[in-house]
């Protein structure tokens, strides 16, 4: 094993160690904060109520977290995924951001290069959000009327469609045949069962499954033809 | 509620508690960033590429962050400023916070999630429920990230600079196509059947926004590829999003 490989192995081991430590620390802080705030306010959380209502409120988010972990961890790599699960806002920011960065530099999934680029991307994105929110909170009084003006409301309500429109073009043009089937199937499903729009995050799984299945068939075909 | 609770929720001690956690996460981001940068340099990665990744990610994140700031403002009327600031800077997600805060306030016995109905005990209970419901991503990461990635990558790991992509890379691209398709399909479904099956009376704004944004992206791609203006790549997604969002303002819905 050469020096570079040894360095990378050490880097990865330390990334997992650091990721676990900071995740646990963040977990303790986030769960501890309501108690600390409760102490300041002189009113502790009602633990009985939290236990009784936890499943009814949290079940959908537990399932969603499992799905997000299984799907997005391989996309983001180790450092990127530890950071992304700490900083949040995965679908509407971190995932597209990391994918965009990966594409811009031409990194391949599963490589050390992608691990580095993904970590840089998620860390940058997290810092930008923290900065924007800190400035926004500091300037809340003058910003509130602007941010909440009815004129601008449609713009802020449509950040995700704007994001997926731009990213959609970028990805669809690379493989329009692959994109057509999931888009068609999802459109038909959502038209026939509009109630599913509340579970779009979960519908990513079958949609992604269809796309991956088709990609696999294409890959096998190219393998047989000796093109990959 | 005691009329001063909302003021208490935005008081200096609460800012210090929430601000301390936000600062911790900011430091974590910086540490991961510096480590990744050093590792990239050590394995001989092109610094220009890494710089591009940072610049593009920064420009990419500004607009969604403004959308998230709006979430902070929206929740500040009922939960004070520091708590929504913390939640949306760390771990939270825009779509999650409002829904869970609403459900938690109902569970805490409030008639609605509002500043006028809030009590100190209800707040601390709501805050704990909001935190406890969303921690699973972190818990799963702590427990399984290493094993999961090792299992997935163990056999097909490639060295930096290796050009030929295996199926893993194709699968990740396909997964993202699936993700975009699910969201675009949901906008179409909402428009066609959101107000009743095949009535076509639902909101068409998300579709128009996505279309304008995609068209703008096509324009930037053309500039980059045909006119050799490669620098536009760094800002093309952010600029396309901005144009899409401006279209929403023009449509005014």
Q: Where residue B244 falls among pLDDT bands split at 50, 70, 90?
A: very high
Q: Is the pLDDT of residue B158 over 60?
A: no
State whether residue B25 is helix, strand or coil: helix
pLDDT of residue A1: 58
Contact check, Cβ <8 Å, B25/A130: yes
What average pLDDT is seen over chain B? 88
pLDDT tens-digit series, residues B67-114:
889 889 888 888 999 999 999 998 877 667 877 888 888 888 887 787
Question: B175 and B121, same structural domain?
Answer: no
Return the axis-axis angle of helices B82-89 and B94-107, rounded to nearest 10°: 130
Tokens of B152: 């997935």
Contact check, Cβ <8 Å, A54/B178: no
Tell me if B70 is assigned to some domain.
Answer: yes
Residues in B closer than 8 angstroms to A9, CB to CB, are: none
Structural domain count of chain B? 2
Question: B135 and B190, same structural domain?
Answer: no
Nearest CA in chain B to A191: B189
Tell me if B150 is assigned to some domain.
Answer: no
Question: B188 and B126, same structural domain?
Answer: no
Which of A28-32, A70-74, B203-207 comes out lowest in average pLDDT?
A70-74
Question: B203 and B97, same structural domain?
Answer: no
How far does the CA of residue A225 sit from the closest CA of chain B (Å)?
15
DSSP symbol at B232: G
Question: B237 and B179, same structural domain?
Answer: yes
Q: Is the pLDDT of residue B2 over 50?
A: no
Residues in B closer than 8 angstroms to A89, CB to CB, are: 64, 68, 88, 92-94
Tell me if B86 is assigned to some domain.
Answer: yes
Contact check, Cβ <8 Å, B42/A4: yes
Q: What percent of chain A has pLDDT over 90?
A: 57
Tell me if B152 is assigned to some domain.
Answer: no
Question: B97 and B134, same structural domain?
Answer: yes
Q: Which of A4, A164, A200 sits opposite B43 (nearest CB)?
A: A4
Contact check, Cβ <8 Å, B169/A110: yes
Tell me if B157 is assigned to some domain.
Answer: no
Tell me if B177 is assigned to some domain.
Answer: yes
* Contacts (Cβ under 8 Å, ≥6 apart) of B15: B81, B82
pLDDT of residue B151: 86
Question: B127 and B206, same structural domain?
Answer: no
A 125-164 residues inside an 8 A Cβ radius of B: 125-130, 132-134, 136-137, 140, 143-144, 147-148, 151-152, 154-164
Q: Does the beta carbon of A175 lie under 8 angstroms from any beta carbon of chain B?
A: yes
Question: B106 and B195, same structural domain?
Answer: no
Tell me if B153 is assigned to some domain.
Answer: no
Burial-class residue A18 by CB neighbours within 10 Å (0-12, 13-18, 19+): middle
* Contacts (Cβ under 8 Å, ≥6 apart) of B215: A169
Tell me if B159 is assigned to some domain.
Answer: no
pLDDT of residue B253: 61
CB atoms within 10 A of CB B45: 22
Contact check, Cβ <8 Å, A110/B182: no
Q: Is the pLDDT of residue B193 over 90?
A: yes
Question: B94 and B9, same structural domain?
Answer: yes
Question: B71 and B118, same structural domain?
Answer: yes
Question: B125 and B64, same structural domain?
Answer: yes
Parent domain of B192: 166-251
ipTM of the complex model: 0.85
Last residue of a domain, one of B108, B142, B176: B142
Question: B193 and B111, same structural domain?
Answer: no
Q: Is the pLDDT of residue A137 over 90?
A: yes
Contact check, Cβ <8 Å, B173/A171: yes
Q: Is the pLDDT of residue B163 over 50?
A: no
State whether residue B5 is helix, strand or coil: helix
Q: Is the pLDDT of residue B159 over 70?
A: no
């Amino acid at each position: 094993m050469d020096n570079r490989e040894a360095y990378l192995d050490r880097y990865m081991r330390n990334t997992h160690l650091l990721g676990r430590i900071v995740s646990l620390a963040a977990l303790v802080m986030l769960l501890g904060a309501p108690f600390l705030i409760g102490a300041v306010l002189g009113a502790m959380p009602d633990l009985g109520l939290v236990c009784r209502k936890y499943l009814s409120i949290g079940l959908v988010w537990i399932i969603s977290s499992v799905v997000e972990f299984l799907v997005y961890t391989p996309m983001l790599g180790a450092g990127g995924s530890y950071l992304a699960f700490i900083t949040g806002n995965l679908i509407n920011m971190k995932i597209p951001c990391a994918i965009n960065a990966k594409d811009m530099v031409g990194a391949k999934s599963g490589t050390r290069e992608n691990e580095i680029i993904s970590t840089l991307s998620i860390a940058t994105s997290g810092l930008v959000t923290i900065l924007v929110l800190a400035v926004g909170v500091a300037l809340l009084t003058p910003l509130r009327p602007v941010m909440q003006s009815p004129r601008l409301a449609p713009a802020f309500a449509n950040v995700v469609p704007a994001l997926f429109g731009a990213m959609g073009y970028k990805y669809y043009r690379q493989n329009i045949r692959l994109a057509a089937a999931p888009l068609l199937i999802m459109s038909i499903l959502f038209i026939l069962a509009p109630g599913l729009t509340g579970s779009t995050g979960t519908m990513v799984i079958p949609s992604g499954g269809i796309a991956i299945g088709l990609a696999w068939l294409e890959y096998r075909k190219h393998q047989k033809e000796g093109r990959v | 509620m005691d009329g001063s609770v909302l003021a208490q929720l935005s008081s200096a001690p609460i800012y210090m508690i929430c601000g301390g956690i936000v600062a911790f996460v900011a430091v974590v981001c910086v540490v991961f960033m510096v480590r990744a940068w050093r590792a990239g340099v050590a394995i001989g990665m092109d610094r220009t590429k890494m710089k591009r990744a940072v610049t593009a990610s920064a420009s990419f994140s500004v607009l969604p962050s403004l959308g998230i700031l709006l979430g902070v403002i929206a929740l500040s009327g009922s939960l004070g400023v520091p708590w929504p600031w913390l939640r949306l800077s760390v771990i939270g997600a825009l779509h999650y916070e409002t829904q869970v805060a609403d459900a938690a306030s109902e569970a805490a016995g409030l008639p609605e999630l509002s500043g006028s109905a809030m009590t100190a005990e209800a707040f601390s209970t709501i805050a704990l429920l909001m935190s406890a419901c969303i921690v699973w991503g972190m818990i799963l990461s702590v427990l399984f990230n290493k094993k999961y990635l090792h299992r997935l990558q163990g056999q097909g790991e490639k060295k930096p600079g290796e050009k030929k992509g295996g199926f893993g890379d194709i699968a990740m691209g396909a997964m993202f196509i699936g993700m975009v398709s699910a969201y675009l399909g949901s906008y179409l479904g909402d428009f066609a059947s959101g107000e009743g099956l095949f009535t076509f009376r639902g909101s068409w704004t998300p579709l128009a926004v996505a279309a304008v944004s995609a068209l703008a992206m096509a324009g930037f791609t053309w500039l980059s590829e045909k006119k050799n203006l490669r620098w536009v790549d760094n800002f093309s997604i952010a600029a396309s999003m901005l144009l899409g969002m401006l279209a929403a303002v023009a449509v005014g819905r």
